[in-house]
Amino acid sequence: MRTELSAADIARYQNEGFLHVPGFLTGEETVELKAAVLEAVAALGSRRISGDELAWESGEGYYDHVFTQRLNLWRLSATVKRYMLDPHLGRLVCRLAGTRGMRVWHDQALIKEPFGNPTAWHLDNPYWSFHSRQAISIWIALEDATLMNGCLWFMPGSHKLARYDNVGIGEDLAGLFKVYPDMAQIDPVPVPMKAGDCSFHNGLTAHGAGANMTRGRRIAMTCAYMPQGSTFNGTTNVLPPSYLKTLKVGDMLDNEAVNPWVAQEVSA
């Protein structure tokens, strides 16, 4: 795992709201993580989220054909957990986001299947149960992600224009720009990746992906991180109902079983 980024990389992330990191995982690590992800996805079957409480099944709608989406694999797979909670990664996301600590919000396998629909332009953080301008996600390519099979695209600097108004990932590719017309003035940047590359993006950066025009699978593993001290904003999202019952707006989201703390490797 590549764990060092330059000051210029960090400045670029903060300015543009995303960063491509080539060769984040070694070939061996990529093979190991991919096998663990595919095993956990298979174990879930049509259940979208691991854990006993949330029944969220995949079906045959438009969104089901954007990607095979399976959440919180860290709960199922010790290998996935080891990668997503790796202290080196913990330090990296804190340095990029400028925070002192992070918790896992959720992880997700996102597999754009052959001929899968595009991922409409969207922001992530407005879906979640906390608001933060420093939330960050990692997106790790476990197969090459290309212009042909639906690599990610980002709008540089859009995180500075974003509020917390939400727009669903639906059939309208450009629905986001009805809410944020100024974002549509930005030139989008595609980020093709080799297997083992990753990108980081701010939870308020506009991003999307094209259709998968190939007969291969675009396989990615992602994890979203919530800054230490984030508080409940009243949105349910993926919080388990038994925990949700105990929460009032403004409460700290610090339940270790739901949102585990990500340790930071101490630099020399």
What residues make contact with ligand AKG under the rule CB under 6 A? Answer: 67, 110, 112, 119, 124, 137, 139, 207, 209, 220, 222
CB-nearer residue toward ligand AKG: 115 or 242: 115
Helix (H, G, I), strand (E, B) or coil at 144: coil
Which one of ligand AKG, Fe ion, none is in contact with 223 (Cβ closer than 5 to 8 A by kind)?
none
Q: Residues 6 or more apart from 99 whose CB is under 8 A from it?
A: 93, 134, 227, 228
Amino acid at 196: G
Q: Shortest approach of ligand AKG to residue 122 CB, angstroms?
A: 6
**DSSP strand pairing (261-262 vs 102-112):** antiparallel
Which one of ligand AKG, Fe ion, none is in contact with 119 (Cβ closer than 5 to 8 A by kind)?
ligand AKG
**DSSP strand pairing (207-209 vs 218-227):** unpaired
> Using CB under 5 A, which of the segments 81-89, 122-130, 157-165, 182-190 binds Fe ion?
122-130
Report the candidate in 20, 25, 78, 71 with the shortest Cα–Cα distance to residue 50: 71
> Using CB under 5 A, which of the segments 4-12, 117-125, 126-134, 147-155 binds Fe ion?
117-125
124 lies in the binding site for Fe ion (CB under 5 A): yes
* Residue 117 near residue 166, CB atoms below 8 Å: no
CB-nearer residue toward ligand AKG: 174 or 249: 174
CB-nearer residue toward ligand AKG: 90 or 116: 116
* Dist CA 13 CA 107 (whole Å): 21
CB-nearer residue toward Fe ion: 37 or 176: 176
